[in-house]
Structure 1
Amino acid sequence: MSSDADHDVCGMSVAIDVVGGKWKLHLMWVLSAGPQRFGRIRKLLTGVSEKVLAENLRQLEATGVVHREVFPEVPPRVEYSLTPLGEELDVALRPLGAWGDKNRDQLLGNLLASAN
């Protein structure tokens, strides 16, 4: 996590701390479609382990971006959804996704060229 001094200077530091890491932006994308159960999220995010998925969901919940709701059923049903804060973050992230879509080929080409 960035230092408090970084957070005082740049709001981007706070935002990156919230969504940083390999899976959090992917989770935001999945949850932007509406409430999802853990198993469904896991199917949509191929390659993520249960442990890592659970950790990332807990972290997003701790920051107030994701809501976890347990339904009083047998067996218990748990759904994850974006909070109003998470929905606001999703709106802020959409232009970044559009930029990535627009420049995908060039960016991937540049990444491949720099790896060689």
Structure 2
Amino acid sequence: MKRMATVDRIKIDSVILSSVFQIGDSQHIEGRSNALAVQREAEIFFGTEGEYSSYPIFSEPIAFQPEMETIIGHTHTIHPFLKVRNIDITGVSSSSIVHLGNTCNVLLESRVKHIRHLLPRTKIQQ
């Protein structure tokens, strides 16, 4: 027997960037998020910003762990209800899930490329 969740109150300020807020059971959840973060000390633009194909991190395959051996077991749920009074979440971002319910399959992927262009530093005078 699966558990059933009851929540009296849930407050979420924001859900962004391929994230999911799911109430109820689901068969399959898939979330993907790509982010390119460029930080510069000077306002210089090269014209190629935003081209994900320029960076291998966005196209390289992710090595997933192979499926493990199947284990057969028996569980007994004494209390089939999960009761929660209050959930307070500031933010859900970058391919994340807040899920109240049961799920069979979940696949989440978040890839971030950080680039920092800093101005040349002079030696600190003593």
Higher helix proportion (structure 1 or 2): 1
Higher strand proportion (structure 1 or 2): 2
- Give TM-score scaled by structure 1 length: 0.20
Larger radius of gyration: 2
Higher relative CO (Cα under 8 Å, sequence separation at least 6) belongs to 2
- Give TM-score scaled by structure 2 length: 0.19
